[in-house]
Amino acid sequence: MTLLWLRLAVILYGVAALAVLPAALYNRPRWRHIAMPAAFLGALFHFVSIAETLYAAHRALPVDTHETLSMLGLLLVVGFLILAARYRTVSFGIFLLPIAVLLAIVPAFHPGHEEIAYPLVRTGWILLHIALLLAAYAAMFLSLIASMLYLIQERRLKEKRTESQRGWLPPLETLDQIGVNSLRFGLPCMTAGLLIGSVLALQTIGPAFFADPKVLLSIAMWIAYILMIYIRSNSGLRGRRAVYLSSFVFLVMVAVWAANSLSAVHRFKTP
Amino acid sequence: MSDLTRDSVQDARVEEAVRSTPQTSKLLLLGVSHTTAPIAVRERLAIPGDRLADATRTLAHQPGIREALILSTCNRVEILTVQDGVNEENAELRAGKRQAPALSVIQFLHEYLQIRTTDIEPHVYEYHERDAIRHLFRVASSLDSMVVGEPQILGQVKQSWTVGREVGAVKTMLDPLLQRAFSVAKKVRTETQIGNTTVSVASVAAELARKIFGSLSGKTVLLVGAGKMTDLTARHLIQQGATTLLVANRTESKAQAIADALRTPSITTGVIPLEQLHEQAHRADIVITSTGAGQVFTPESARAVLQRRKNRPVFFIDIAVPRDVAPEVNKVDGCFVYDIDDLQQVAMQNKAVRNREAEAAESIVTREVARYSDRISQAPVTESIKELLLSAEDVRQHEMARITHQLAQQPLTPEQLAAVDRLTKSLTGKLLHPQIAALREMAAERESDE
């Protein structure tokens, strides 16, 4: 049943990803009426599927890679729905919905069977640690997309490509707000997530945890994140440079994610 | 209410309208517009808003006129009437000329507005029945407007409809027709992009500003120099929400006069001495220049402005010839420069888009006219079919009751009774089928003949 919900969610995300193309690129509002309900229902089924999985496994958090990626996909769709409601734009769906499909399709059709033996997985704190960090990842990704869209819109306006100006991109200032607000939302999530993780690690593993490459990279990521917000807020960094900076921090985040395989203590699978 | 439900409700209204209106009633639309009459004629025919109710009431009381609506805008004056049908032979008062219903409307215009009929006649167009419906749908959808796709016309038609209803001139025939016209106009707006582009230079500038800043609420506009186009563009930006207006001009008194002219309770205005322009320009989000002095803003001065603004974007609208803003300023990150040619280019391309979308809109109108006309022509047939079916059902029920009574001594079992009921229903349906089909066919033939 759980898989059925997830598969339904993937199909609905697929429908929304296709419908959002004419809605955004060709300004056909009727397609929006397909894309938005499909994305909303997809997110609902996705949530039900994740909740059922975790409940059935007697744990409150995703423990394997597929589950975690799937949850990140759900957060991205939720981000898309929030942006669509708040800023009346479906442009972000062009990128977010296909990514959500990719993130959810593997667990939907090839579910993992990894188990984890840590007693920690049954505590609420670790759930908060994971949820907050996933939210920070999603926020960073939204900010990166906003910066890229800003760059595209800026070029179109500068090159005076008037035929395409009717189209799909939100105004520059809106894109800038989305980028900065996403980062501002992500920072407390990341800070709290890392703090909770550190306290739990100290209790269970001890100070040795802080010599782990994953942990060191995470601290570097946090510093890069703060620096990026500082630079963007104080110098009004926009356009090309903002994309470079966001891309750099995003790459650091991907590296932190990938560092699970290097870590001796922070892994999805039982070491 | 969904479109489907709304259409069903309107279809029901159409049928109701047809039932309550004599079949000899004729729909006539007569008018002048920017395509047929010069302004000198249109202004004499224009009926001001405060006289519209009286004019509509007077028209509706003319002999033979059952319902009436007057649409009077700066580009058109149109009169839509439902008139009592007249014998076709008698109607043709003068061979090759207007028919009586049209003449009675022209007569009304002559009497009400004191205009000679000979002054009006050469400019007047008239449409009957299906053509009138089509014209009304096109007008409401802004396909017949001077600027195709402009949104005001729909509001003006709605205003006339409201007045017509208030004075009792819009009733069972025109009311559903106008409501259908509104839904067709809405469909055209939502299914095509006819209204999504701007076509004047000033509105294009405002549209581009929105592409940069989103809402213009709280934004500051700086006018450098004075001129009609500058003024018009500034007014457009204010309409879109800009709240602060700064003026810089060689002559400070003129700058002050412009600022005073544009000041309203919600708009703050100020004057900047021209020599302080570069020091103060960072306060503005949108700069409109029209001095023609050349190179008022260079890449260096633009960079300085941006630095003071912490890289918040600036939109330069350069209306001057020679240009006030160096084209290289557009290459500075955060600066967007559009000169008069750029704006005109956008306006022309937008016009082309509108024309393209107008073709799609015409298809919608054609489809909707056919649908509405079909409903009108089918409504009496539907009513006849209903009556036929009801009458047959009465006979069947009567016969069923009779046979049940006759068999009172040896009553049928419930199963047998149900079987007889099914049999009689089936027989009635099969016997009536050819008549119903013939009725529908006749209605379709009549429609195609018309």
What residue ranges in B281-373 does DSSP mark as E strands?
286-289, 314-318, 335-339
pTM of the model: 0.67
Measured between beta carbons, the chain A residues lying within 8 angstroms of B211 are 153, 157, 165, 171-172
pLDDT of residue B92 exceeding 50, the answer is: no
pLDDT of residue A119 exceeding 70, the answer is: no
Q: Is A57 exposed, middle or buried (CB count within 10 Å of its CB: 0-12, 13-18, 19+)?
A: middle
C-alpha–C-alpha distance, residues B23 and A54, integer Å: 71
C-alpha–C-alpha distance, residues A81 and A83, integer Å: 5
Contact: B208, A157; criterion CB under 8 Å = yes
C-alpha–C-alpha distance, residues B381 and B18, integer Å: 11
DSSP 8-class letter at B264: B
Return the pLDDT at A120.
58
Return the pLDDT at A64.
67
C-alpha–C-alpha distance, residues A75 and B379, integer Å: 54
Facing residue for B349 by CB, picked from A157, A162, A238 = A162
Tens digit of pLDDT for each residue in A88-115? 889 899 999 999 999 888 888 776 655 5
ipTM over 0.90: no
Measured between beta carbons, the chain A residues lying within 8 angstroms of B310 are 234-236
Contact B104, B63 (CB under 8 A): yes
Report CA dihedral (B393, B398, B402, B403) to the nearest 10 degrees.
Answer: 0
Measure in Å the smallest separation between the Cα of A86 and chain B Cα atoms: 13
Question: Where do we find the tokens 């049209």?
Answer: B102
Backbone region of residue B219 per phi and psi (left: phi > 0; alpha: psi in -120 to 50; beta: other values): beta
Measure in Å the smallest separation between the Cα of A55 and chain B Cα atoms: 40
pLDDT of residue B84 exceeding 60, the answer is: yes
- Helix (H/G/I), strand (E/B), else coil: B100: helix
Interface of A with B (CB under 8 A): 27, 29-30, 153, 157-158, 160, 162-163, 165-166, 170-174, 234-241
Number of Cβ pairs closer than 8 Å across A and B?
63
Measure in Å the smallest separation between the Cα of A27 and chain B Cα atoms: 8
The number of CA neighbours under 13 Å toward the Cβ of B11 is 14
Measure in Å the smallest separation between the Cα of B207 and chain A Cα atoms: 9
Active site annotation includes B74:
yes
Cβ neighbours, 10 Å, residue A14? 18
Contact: A166, B330; criterion CB under 8 Å = no
Measured between beta carbons, the chain B residues lying within 8 angstroms of A235 are 310-311
Cβ neighbours, 10 Å, residue B89? 6
Hey, what are B193's tokens? 């992009």
**Cβ-Cβ contacts under 8 Å for B181 (sequence gap 6 or more):** B136, B137, B139, B140, B157
Hey, what are A99's tokens? 């990514």
The number of CA neighbours under 13 Å toward the Cβ of B275 is 0
- Per-residue pLDDT averaged across A6-31, rounded? 89
Question: Where do we find the tokens 């700086």?
Answer: B222
pLDDT of residue A12 exceeding 70, the answer is: yes
Segments in A110-212 forming alpha helices (H): 124-159, 172-204
pLDDT of residue B78 exceeding 90, the answer is: yes
- Helix (H/G/I), strand (E/B), else coil: B112: helix
Contact: B311, A237; criterion CB under 8 Å = yes
Measured between beta carbons, the chain A residues lying within 8 angstroms of B338 are 160
Q: What angle do CA A162, A168, A171 make, to 5 degrees?
A: 80
